[in-house]
Amino acid sequence: MIARRTMRRSLRRAALTPAAPLLVAVAALIGMGVFLLMAPKAATGGWLTAFLFWSGVPLGGLLALMIHALTGGRWGVRFAAEFITTAAAIPLMALLSVPMLAALPGFYPWVFGHGVHADVHRWYLNAPFFIGRTALAFVGWSALAFVLPRLAGAPAAIVAGLGLIFFGVMISIVGYDWVLSLDPHFTSSSFGATLAFAQLASALAFTAVVARDDGDPAFADLGGLLLAALLGLVYMNFMALLIVWYGDVPERVQWFVDRTQAPWIVVAAFAFLLGSVVPIFSLFLGRWRRNPRALRIVGLVALLGIVLFDACLVTPAFGPLALGAAALATIAIGALLVSFLAMPWAQAPLRHWRMPHGR
């Protein structure tokens, strides 16, 4: 009996170490290497899809921290550990953006001048400026993730307010850079807000999945926030479709038409079902919002819907094989993130947060 209990404790400790997910990440990265040799274009599209999805979790965690610093609420205190540790992974996401920055010709057609005609396009869409904008965004976001947990009260509110302004500007910029510039003809002034809603929803759903089930009433707040974020994402997407479609601008309409072809229409349908319909209608039920186990299921479904949404945004520019590469890259980057979160330095900002907050 004692030996059995000792074994169970050892297994639980092993599950909390970064070794297991790191092995999964290595295996998936080897698979991505094979994919890159056999279908380089599809592999780049898959990597960009997975990077867009997983970067949303730490960036959404930072966004939640800044919102709570300005508004307060029990949810931000109860789930501070999850938000702070995920936000600490922003430098990891910066590192994972290096393949995209180092191989820009494989990702974006404008590197060769395709689709770029106006002089302003040439001034804006060029490799040094693109890399500089991405670097500036990650430096600023990393600085906010480092500083904010060390502050409380008025200083935290001031930094959060300025941080939200910086976040709003940079997410609009990199949203166009990372995603919309795959087709330089297509622009959307609302896409930055769409991406921010997706990131916030990703962080809230991820928190619902990993948070300890302790029956705290704050889970109802978390469920309500996830519902609001998903509704905001649906609203932004619907308005963009409505305005572009009825505006009848050929270059912009074509972006949507391309996504009505197989297999993208199937991916889009499941993205809408899993990222909108199922979690939203589930969260309308108060007992689901208050139940940590039910909320965990809703969070998993929402995350799957969001990654399919990101696949709809990115993979049509790279062909159907990019869907398979995206699945493999999502496993690789996700395992790296889980491994990072299990390491001691991911917990360091939380210790700093507890000191000014007396916890």
Say how many domains are in the chain: 1
Total length of the chain: 359
Instruction: Answer whether residue 102 is part of any domain.
Output: yes
- For residue 312, being part of any structural domain is answered with yes
Residue 162 has pLDDT above 80, yes or no: yes
Question: Does some domain include residue 188?
Answer: yes
- The burial class, CB within 10 Å (0-12 / 13-18 / 19+), for 262 is exposed
- Please indicate, yes or no, if residue 3 is contained in any of the structural domains: no
Using CA atoms, how far residue 49 sits from 64, 134, 157, in Å, is 23, 16, 33
For position 261, what pLDDT does the model report?
A: 86
Reported as a pLDDT band with limits 50, 70 and 90, residue 2 is very low
Query: Which residue range is the domain that position 300 belongs to?
Result: 20-357
1, part of any domain: no
Has residue 91 got a pLDDT over 50? yes
Q: Which pLDDT value is given to residue 18?
A: 65
DSSP 17: S
14 pLDDT tier (thresholds 50, 70, 90): very low
| pTM summary value | 0.90
pLDDT at site 345: 74
Phi, psi (rounded to 5 degrees) for 215 = 70, 15
For residue 274, give the nearest of 234, 325, 241, 308 by alpha carbon: 308
Q: How far apart are CA 217 and CA 219, in angstroms?
A: 5
Q: Is residue 251 part of a domain?
A: yes
How many angstroms separate the CA atoms of 58 and 192, rounded? 16
Asked whether residue 11 is domain-assigned, the answer is no
Q: What is the mean pLDDT of residues 92-113?
A: 86
Cα–Cα dist 60/251, whole Å: 31
Q: How confident is the model at residue 79 (pLDDT cuts 50, 70, 90)?
A: very high
Q: Of 159 and 348, which is predicted with more confidence?
A: 159
In a domain, 13, yes or no: no
pLDDT digits (tens, 9 = 90+) for 255-301: 888 888 889 999 999 999 999 999 999 999 988 888 999 999 999 99
Binned at pLDDT 50, 70 and 90, residue 355 comes out as: low
